[in-house]
Amino acid sequence: MRLFGSNLVRLSLRANALEQGGKAEMVSVEGRSAGSVTPIGALFSMARKNDNVTIGMPASFATRTLNENTRFGAKPFYHEVAVEPGQHVTISANFDGPNRRCIPVAAAGQSRDALRYIGGPSVSFTAEPGTDYEVSFGTDGQGCGITARQLLADGGSTPLRSERQRQRSPQTGKVDGAHLYTFLFRPGSVYYRVTGESANLELQTDDAAHADAFESAMREIATRPGTQMCIVAPGFDYKSLLFDRLKRVLDEQAKDFPAIVEPIDSMRTAQQTEEHVPTTFMAAAEYCQVAALVAFLRKEPGVAEGL
């Protein structure tokens, strides 16, 4: 993942622990002027170049045009960070200094000291195998924003698909109501996780060695209260070891168990995905939130969605 920074800007990346009980990972990217306590100190710091940190990501349009149309003293740079496939990450950003902050409209009018601790814009997603990302922060003078893009094989990029993050109860810290699980089946693999709940992505090889464990995990998920499933696959007639095991588990459930299958081509058509843009789990999650909402709202008790 490539994070773009500049003087007087700080980006912070938080990655979920991959194992239960593990620690979350934190990475902070900031320019040389970060932490300067006086305007003079910041000015001298801004005169020095910020160094890029690379781990071998391919060049992109953003790196090739890094120093074009930048403000005075910005000294833009980038910092590449390795993220484990499947990790859920959250990147937040803000101006770093006492005189300029991005704040929500609702916070306007608070004291200067209070505003120093208000977070800026953020973006969250799960990193997928073989996929590179770029994240940048900016302002148009009227508002602030953080942008995440997926790098493509030709050096271009495309905006990330996004899913709606569900709100957690302030009392319990849990998400109430239904829990939608999105699955993306492709030949040789299946990715899945609960949607809109900041969970890591499960990456499963679709072969005989993993079939029993996968079936056991699916049976446990299916029995959880409020579980719904949206399964994105190459087609309605798709066949694979793990897909068949999932179908077996669903056949054991009640006739009105909320599960739907959506073909990949139908999803790409609905999202107007260009041919050169690969299919991603994030696209499936965004699509499933809408498809499941429509399917399960109109579904009458006792009527099953066939697999």
CB 64 within 8 A of CB 45: no
Report the pLDDT value the prediction gives residue 21, as an integer from 0 to 100: 63
Q: Where are the alpha helices (DSSP H) in 161-280?
A: 208-222, 241-251, 264-270
Please indicate, yes or no, whether residues 123 and 187 belong to a single structural domain of this protein.
no
Specify the pairing of strand 133-139 against strand 144-151.
antiparallel
Report the pLDDT value the prediction gives residue 301, as an integer from 0 to 100: 45
The label of the residue with tokens 């990346």 reads 13
Q: In terms of C-beta density within 10 A (0-12 exposed, 13-18 middle, 19 or more buried), how is residue 198 classed?
A: middle
* Cβ neighbours for 231, distance < 8 A, ≥ 6 positions apart: 183, 185, 246, 259, 260, 261, 262, 307
Residue 141 token pair: 């003078």
Report the pLDDT value the prediction gives residue 44, as an integer from 0 to 100: 46
Q: Which CATH number do you get for residue 191?
A: 3.30.420
Q: Is this model's pTM higher than 0.85 or not?
A: no
- Please give the residue range of the domain that contains residue 215: 179-298
Q: In this structure, is residue 223 part of a structural domain?
A: yes
Report the pLDDT value the prediction gives residue 262, as an integer from 0 to 100: 97
- Give SS3 for 172: coil
* Cβ neighbours for 185, distance < 8 A, ≥ 6 positions apart: 206, 231, 232, 233, 234, 238, 240, 242, 243
Overall domain count for the chain: 2
Report the pLDDT value the prediction gives residue 302, as an integer from 0 to 100: 40
Write out the DSSP string of 21-57: TPPPEEEEEE-TTTT--SHHHHHHHHTSPPPPB-SSP
Q: Torsions phi, psi of 107, nearest 5?
A: -90, -5
Residue 226 token pair: 């409020």
Report the pLDDT value the prediction gives residue 43, as an integer from 0 to 100: 47
Which residues, given as ranges, of the chain have pLDDT below 70?
19-22, 32-48, 69-73, 97-99, 105-107, 109, 111-118, 298-307
Q: In this structure, is residue 96 part of a structural domain?
A: yes
Q: In this structure, is residue 304 part of a structural domain?
A: no
Please indicate, yes or no, whether residues 115 and 12 belong to a single structural domain of this protein.
yes
Q: In this structure, is residue 167 part of a structural domain?
A: no
Please indicate, yes or no, whether residues 155 and 202 belong to a single structural domain of this protein.
no
